[in-house]
Structure 1
Amino acid sequence: MILVAALRRLATAVATLFGVAVVVFVLLRVVPGDPVAMMIAPGASPADIAALRARYGLDAPIFTQFWIWLGDLLHGDFGTSISLKLNVLDVLAERLPATLELAIAALVVALAIGGAIAIFGVILRRTLAESLLDAVDGFMLAIPDFVWALAFVLLLGVLWPVFPLSGRIDPTLTVAFATRFYLIESLVTGRFAVFADILSHMVMPTLALALPLAAIVARVLKQALAEAMVQDYVLLARLKGMSETRLVLQETLRNAVGPTLALTGVQFTFLIGGTVIVERIFAYPGIGNMAIDAVINRDLPLIQGLVLVFGALFILVNIAVDLGVAALNPRLRHG
């Protein structure tokens, strides 16, 4: 059943991506602004402008442009970036690993912080400590990620310069990487000094992205744990003398993971989108930072490639979450 559901979701994903491609392609060509006008030198002749438009296929009707672009896309050709003069697919392949490492690190931190707040909140329920944890959770939820980013820049980058303010790695380090996953590769290959430097560059943007998500995880998990704590099997375990900590960790936590996993997956897709502003603040070389430059420069091929990548990531994450929830819930697995 899980395999059938996965195939059904993949078929839906193809249709969804096609719809995304149509919408972004049309919208980019009807909004005001001409990318050629931003590229051409002052005093260029009409013939030069026409030649440049023909080079990027902007002189044909929108319908013709779309089918040419779609045909190239099916052959793995995302086009050439207008502003960078590079192949869009190569640019995306170079920048995407940085964003993925940042987003996954933020997710891990969010799950750790949010899970700890939820578990301790249930164990210490009806005490002053629970009220304090709820206040901390509300405080993290009320502040958006870009405000956290600016606060960390001021506190940990300027007033108390503990972590680097920008970039992904110290430019003075001459290190050769076989992949673009710098953090993972440096850890696997045992270059711990490089790993520590890359990690230090990721601390502030990771925390900025993780704290709002951690607050959501804490609220959902705590509610699920509280509902599980009043079930009959928990009452029976309590009568047998099991401590509150063991009740939460051994009896109720596994039953509360399902709803938390489902919501966390949805929020993770928004977290990937949230990297756009946070990466810009920290000059982090990911696809989020590049997306802002692409919009400013009206780089149509690059924007189209970025939107498709974001759309594919959202769809794949949602499919993975649905399969994970189904695997954890026997009723969904066999239903």
Structure 2
Amino acid sequence: MPLKRLMWALPTLFGVLVVVFVLLRLAPGDPIAMMIGPGATPDDIRALRTLYGFDRSVPEQFVIYLGQAATGQFGQSITLKRDVLELVFAHLPLTLELSLLALGLAILIGGSAALTAVAWRGTAVERAIDLVTGFVTAIPDFLWGLAGVLFLGVLLPVLPVFGLLDPALRFDPASGFMLGESLLRGRLDVFGSALYHMLWPALSLSLPLAAMISRVLKASLLEVLAQDYILIARVKGFSPWQVLWREALRNALGPALTLTGVQFTFLIGGTVLIERLFGLPGLGNMAIDAVINRDLPLIQGIVLTFALLFILVNLAVDVLHTRINPKLRR
């Protein structure tokens, strides 16, 4: 089943390539003109067009790009003068760490809120949680980020709101994974500083997802708690928390898991604005620079990387969903 779904992902990747390639070629502006200085000669311009393949027809450029993408060669960045794949691998780890940290916070906050609301259903606690989750859902992640910069970084400077490490620290992770590698290498000072800097950006990303997880999981739990086997568990003398944890939670995870997987892909995309806002050197921040500079090879490489991440996340969610609910394996 995973292999079959992975094969179906190939047409999706091809479609992404086609759409991105066509849209970037239709966009106004000349990327070569943005590179050259005021004293460039026509020969210099022709040499650059030949170097980056812009002297060929659009169908020829697309065929060449398909061949390069199939072999993992995305060309060279126009503005940074470095291999696109090298740049992607250098900036992707931070985006993944930020996304996974935000996902962990969303699951922890949303799951705790749902379980608490169900355990205290019919009380003021449930009504307060419903009110808060409804409010949080209505506010996008970048507004939470802006609020954090204003209140926690300016008015009450209790959290850093720019950069990834304290200026006094020096650490160059070979893998690019700042949190993971600093922890493995015993650099707890670097790990603590990076986590401290990433806390509010990750929390800004996680809050809307946490609210959605809470609402969906709560509705699913209430539906499961109305089943007959839950009544049997209560007759056996299980406490309310035992009923929730041992009997209801596993059967109620399906809708919440599906929502989490789908929204996780949007969470990864949301890192674009959050990284820019907090000055984090991730893939999203580099994507904005690439768009501003109309760096076509870099934009195509970044978009294809995001598309591949989305496909892999959805595939992982499908596999995990069938593990939790055997009825779906057919």
Q: Give the TM-score taking structure 1 as reference length.
A: 0.96
Q: Residue type matched to 1:202 in 2?
A: M
Cα deviation digits, residues 219-255 of structure 1 (max 9, x gap)? 1100110001100011122233332222112210111
Identity of aligned residues (%): 58
Question: 70-79 or 131-140, which moves further after superposition?
Answer: 70-79
Q: Shift of residue 74 of structure 1?
A: 2.1
Distance 1:262 1:74 in 2: 30
Cα deviation digits, residues 119-163 of structure 1 (max 9, x gap)? 000000011110001111111111100000000111111112122
Q: Residue 245 in 1 paired to residue 241 in 2?
A: yes
Instruction: Tell me the residue number matched to 1:215.
Output: 211
Q: How does 1:40-119 map to 2 (within 5 A)?
A: 40-119=36-115
Instruction: Give the match's secondary structure for 1:26.
Output: helix
Q: Residue type matched to 1:242 in 2?
A: F
Q: Shift of residue 268 of structure 1?
A: 0.1
Q: Residue type matched to 1:168 in 2?
A: L
Aligned with residue 147 of structure 1, among 143, 149, 153: 143
Distance 1:65 1:172 in 2: 47
Q: Shift of residue 174 of structure 1?
A: 2.1
Instruction: Tell me the residue number matched to 2:258.
Output: 262
Instruction: Tell me the residue number matched to 1:323.
Output: 319
Distance 1:318 1:92 in 2: 21
Instruction: Tell me the residue number matched to 2:179.
Output: 183
Cα deviation digits, residues 170-193 of structure 1 (max 9, x gap)? 243122423211101111222211
Q: 1:18 to 1:261 in 2, by over 3 A?
A: same
Q: 1:44 to 1:178 in 2, by over 3 A?
A: closer
Q: Residue type matched to 2:84 in 1?
A: V
Q: Give the TM-score taking structure 2 as reference length.
A: 0.97
Distance 1:236 1:74 in 2: 56
Aligned with residue 128 of structure 1, among 85, 99, 124: 124
Q: Shift of residue 43 of structure 1?
A: 4.2
Distance 2:5 2:236 in 1: 45
Instruction: Give the match's secondary structure for 1:104.
Output: helix
Question: 59-68 or 40-49, which moves further after superposition?
Answer: 40-49
Instruction: Give the match's secondary structure for 2:220.
Output: helix
Distance 2:278 2:132 in 1: 25
Q: Residue type matched to 1:27 in 2?
A: L
- Which consecutive residues of structure 1, in runs of 5 or more, have no partner in the other structure? none
Q: Residue 192 in 1 paired to residue 188 in 2?
A: yes
Aligned with residue 296 of structure 1, among 276, 292, 299: 292
Distance 1:225 1:76 in 2: 45
**RMSD of aligned Cα (Å):** 1.1
Question: 229-238 or 36-45, which moves further after superposition?
Answer: 36-45
Aligned length: 330
Distance 2:172 2:301 in 1: 27
Q: Shift of residue 47 of structure 1?
A: 2.6
Aligned with residue 268 of structure 2, among 267, 272, 284: 272
Q: Shift of residue 97 of structure 1?
A: 0.2
Q: Residue 230 in 1 paired to residue 220 in 2?
A: no
Q: Shift of residue 42 of structure 1?
A: 1.7
Instruction: Give the match's secondary structure for 1:77.
Output: coil
Q: Shift of residue 73 of structure 1?
A: 2.1
Q: Residue type matched to 1:253 in 2?
A: L
Q: Residue 30 in 1 paired to residue 23 in 2?
A: no
Distance 1:232 1:324 in 2: 26
Distance 1:96 1:176 in 2: 15
Question: 319-328 or 232-241, which moves further after superposition?
Answer: 232-241
Instruction: Tell me the residue number matched to 1:137.
Output: 133
Distance 2:44 2:197 in 1: 44
Instruction: Give the match's secondary structure for 2:68.
Output: helix
